Structure 1
């Protein structure tokens, strides 16, 4: 029986490209998104290339929606082999400027959604004694960055969540955990992050404004002048996700580009893929 994969956030970007790539490589794909009205581009690719992809509604901020999607897959296939926690949203705003609603939203989308999707599939993976959970985090899950502290905080939390699970769930139940850590991605993710914040006021103002202008100028300069490509395509990241899914002994952490490796080097050089730390924690606590 072919493996199946549940992917969240598939209307654009990494999720969209992952759905197509997994299907082309023999997986039955359950491609999910909050609003199926945004599924037209994916539907067109499914029809054109006769891909084994089924679309399901799934809002990662709604537990009932998550449980309904998982229940549908179990009823159809009796199993879930791979979960790709891809749904997420960028957010660039100072902590002082962000509203309570925005802080809760960025945390729900980028952290709680991963937790609840993982919680929903774990009982089935544990019962079948196999499974793989891949979460698309970010270099921002390892390195705090200016004006992105709320987003980074959610991604740091996701990294800690995945690392904690790996220390006691992987070995007895044969469930593997990996954080895929891209740098910049040239997709709708970047565009939506800017639109979300600019539509609700300046990204930074008052005493923060000159700092933000310097940050923005530096970001643009790196993107245009860097010898090492800063921004990857969604397809390039999707290729790493597929590689991880096909790996019998996947790493806990993997960066998706040379730029991502460089920006996180001080955090990762002692244990690049995270497996040494997991072994140490297991030895100390279990």
Structure 2
């Protein structure tokens, strides 16, 4: 790793916000370790970043596995020499009404959206504590602030992300210089809605003509947070489409 160059691990990097964030941070000279389950997507993203002059590596990773997240952190540290930033971005959003009893989908959301975030924190924190420097960025949601019909479980997971991140911030010894940021996006044009199987929820979306945010809009917000001087800790950013009121 070149002197002064930072390294970021990004989960859920194969599409959407994760992919856009990887490109944004790489364009600013940050080496990126890409993590997701779809290897072909990761290979393509690595190639694109390198062709643009950036530095990237990837590791196929399931965030619900603490062991695989440990291996990811080890690989990033071995490849780049340090871990400065973790973007805990991997997430699922199969919205549904509770009376549909889609318990398998509820469990998957808890596993990815909550346990995945915890596994990421557990994997990188020892490195950051040892080097006395680091920044953990956790992706929550406007749904972590506002509960809507159909979002009960999803909102529950995103409220949890906010609670975990704020708890982490308060626990960290100030002398360790580790920052914690919550990013809460509103409606974003990503693949998140592809996991919704509740037809009543899907019909609600069909009636909307709101212009959503692009993944790049969130990527720029993440870049803003991590680029601040070390004495500045951006604790939370809420970013909605202009037309989104809820």
TM-score (norm 1): 0.78
- CA distance in 2: counterparts of 1:21 and 1:167, whole angstroms: 29
- Are the aligned partners of 1:21 and 1:238 in contact in 2 as well (CA < 8 Å)? yes
Task: Report what 1:250 is aligned to.
Answer: 233
Which deviations, in whole Å up to 9, do the C-alpha atoms of 1:27-84 show, x marking residues without a partner? 0111111221333541441353232111111110111111111111222333210000
Q: Which of these two proteins has the greater Rg computed from alpha carbons?
A: 1
Superposition RMSD on alpha carbons, in Å?
A: 2.1
Equivalent residues of 1:183, 1:260 under 8 A apart: no
Distance in 1 (CA, whole Å) between partners of 2:245 and 2:103 is: 34
* SS of corresponding position for 1:39: helix
Give the Å deviation of 1:258.
5.6
**Secondary structure at 1:185 match in 2:** coil
Counterpart of 1:181 in structure 2 is: 184
Cα deviations across residues 174-227 of structure 1 (Å, max 9, x unaligned)? 11111101100111223x233xx1xxxx434xxxxxxx58x81xx555x42x5x
Q: Would you say 1:160 and 2:163 are equivalent positions? A: yes
The structure with the greater share of residues assigned to helix is 1
1:11-50 matched pairs, under 5 angstroms: 11-50=14-53
- Unaligned ranges ≥5, structure 2: none
Alignment of 1:256-275 (within 5 A): 256-257=239-240, 259=242, 263=246
In the TM superposition, residue 86 of structure 1 has moved relative to its aligned partner by 0.6
1:146, distance to aligned residue in structure 2 (A) = 1.2
Count of residue correspondences: 241
1:98 aligned partner: 101
**Structure 1 residue ranges without an equivalent (≥5):** 205-211, 264-286
Match of 1:193 in 2: 195
Kindly report which structure 2 residues correspond to 1:68-217, keeping only aligned pairs within 5 A, or say none.
68-169=71-172, 171-190=174-193, 192-194=194-196, 197=197, 202-204=198-200, 216=204
Secondary structure of 2:87's counterpart equals strand
